[in-house]
Structure 1
């Protein structure tokens, strides 16, 4: 190919052409140098295009994360606005002697209940905020079976209050690597969610097992179903399949969202599905053998 044509292509950032290199004079040497320059520039251009594409992807990802953050805090503000409005109405009614607010004890008790709900929500928001921060996380080998047993014991009073029954299949020991406090929080949220959203007298089933190096946990609450179109949204912050669902049960709307965040931290597989007589949450984690430090 002629040197003039190669030069024109290179000026247009087209480095696909190659000069003929059969000559051994100065033109042949120039042709070889142009071929070498063309190859180097082609590699550099490809690297630049790859870097630009990665930068574009990173920017889009950051923009999506920022949109999610804005949506989250917008929803959080909305969730706080309702109880604040109720609380303000109660206080104004009592202070101004509005008809119907004569029984101050009754409305003070209602106001305290509203404050309790707000306190729960603020604590959940703080927890979510901490999970968003870049901080050192301590993963270690723990007995997951024991974690599950402890969390089941912690909700015993709630089970008794709802007059529900427990069916648990938990092995003596089952080890894996997790951030213990975070995973305890996730298991607690799942259990409380299952108990709260099942009617009185129903059965809560819990199972933990290991197959081919993978731990699988299942928590099923009976007597209730979730609309199929709602299932993909259950891990979203403040999502309600039924608009009154969380307020009637005392939930904040962040329980499963926090579970989702913790499971993602552990690169776990997880999900929710309807069963023949209820709703099942499941998760899978890699199994690890305990470290033997004995002498």
Structure 2
């Protein structure tokens, strides 16, 4: 009788919990990530809790990995689509030259499409490089950087018949931020170019101010009717995402500008986003100003 009781106790306290743990381990290996509900009050229960915690972390990592894989598949599909169109045109016009149909413009079209593909490949390489190369953070005088970039765009805006309203609310001394200056300049360049391409009227508004110890930048442009309907604006940060046609074929770009902006700002741990209104959209970001007691040494990340 005692042996029977001991056998039942052994089965209840040891064998069944271990069987449950085995089932849980099997489910983890099959990527179903179930949990073991064991309440023995001893080391077996402690082991079950650790396995459950591991299962939760593995499930989270699996979901993240699946999301990254889906993004990669979509990215490759987008690249293939973007390159297929100019390749098809190059082939068509090259065939036209062979068939004696060239009216004198075919070689120029082939050259233009080849240049477009070269630019896209260069931007893709830059996009990839920005995600893995180290960033050199050093003190940057933000007003000087921004006003210098705006000056370089003055002629481009005039050629497009655009005007920029710059609302400079920074303190007289401007202020310093810790940043990779070349990459931060690229953020300004891409945001200005994006506004120039897609604005639906002739005015772009730029605002720079000190806000609660941070440098806050905003750029606002009007949007066309197709962008006023309900859309998921978060998609604008994705590579090759196009909401509506560019107002200027000259500045049509590669569809990677805002993806580059997002990559750089995330590397700077900046707060950033997009704020759509009824007939306009605002892109913004914030970076903390350096405290005047901060050590201005160069930091690499």
TM-score (norm: length of structure 1): 0.79
Deviation digits for residues 212-248 of structure 1 (CA, Å, limit 9, x no counterpart): 2222111112474633315232222211222x43883
Contact 1:194 1:204 in 2 (8 A): yes
User: Which secondary structure state, in structure 2, belongs to the residue aligned with residue 111 of structure 1?
Assistant: helix
Q: Counterpart of 1:185? A: 186
Distance 1:175 1:4, change over 3 A: farther
Q: 1:70 aligned to 2:73?
A: yes
d(CA) in 2 for partners of 1:260 and 1:195? 18
After TM superposition, where is structure 1 displaced by more than 4 Å over at least 4 residues in a row?
2-6, 290-293
Q: 1:176 aligned to 2:158?
A: no
The Cα of 1:279 is off from its aligned counterpart by 2.4
Q: Counterpart of 2:57? A: 54
Contact 2:200 2:247 in 1 (8 A): no
Contact 1:216 1:285 in 2 (8 A): yes
User: Which secondary structure state, in structure 2, belongs to the residue aligned with residue 289 of structure 1?
Assistant: coil
For structure 2, the residue ranges without an aligned partner over 5 or more in a row are: 18-36, 297-301
Q: Counterpart of 1:16? A: 39
Deviation digits for residues 14-63 of structure 1 (CA, Å, limit 9, x no counterpart): 76346xxxxxxxxxxxxxxxxxxx2x332232122212221222122122
* Bigger Rg, structure 1 or 2: 1
6-15 or 78-87: which moved more?
A: 6-15
Structure showing greater relative contact order (alpha-carbon pairs closer than 8 Å, 6 or more residues apart): 2
d(CA) in 2 for partners of 1:15 and 1:84? 61
Q: Counterpart of 1:45? A: 48
Superposition map of 1:212-291 within 5 A: 212-222=212-222, 224=224, 226-227=227-228, 228-242=230-244, 244-245=245-246, 248=249, 249-275=251-277, 278-289=280-291, 291=294
For structure 1, the residue ranges without an aligned partner over 5 or more in a row are: 19-37
Q: Counterpart of 1:137? A: 135
Which of 78, 82, 86 is the aligned partner of 1:79? 82
Q: Counterpart of 1:24? A: none
Contact 2:141 2:176 in 1 (8 A): yes
d(CA) in 2 for partners of 1:118 and 1:83? 7
Superposition map of 1:136-155 within 5 A: 136-155=134-153
Deviation digits for residues 56-112 of structure 1 (CA, Å, limit 9, x no counterpart): 2212212221221121021011101101111121122112203xx2x32x2222222
Distance 1:94 1:59, change over 3 A: same
The Cα of 1:157 is off from its aligned counterpart by 2.2
TM-score (norm: length of structure 2): 0.78
Aligned residue pairs total 265
Q: Counterpart of 1:34? A: none
CA RMSD of aligned residues (A): 2.6
User: Which secondary structure state, in structure 1, belongs to the residue aligned with residue 269 of structure 2?
Assistant: coil
d(CA) in 2 for partners of 1:269 and 1:257? 15
Contact 2:197 2:247 in 1 (8 A): no
Q: 1:123 aligned to 2:127?
A: no
Contact 1:230 1:241 in 2 (8 A): no
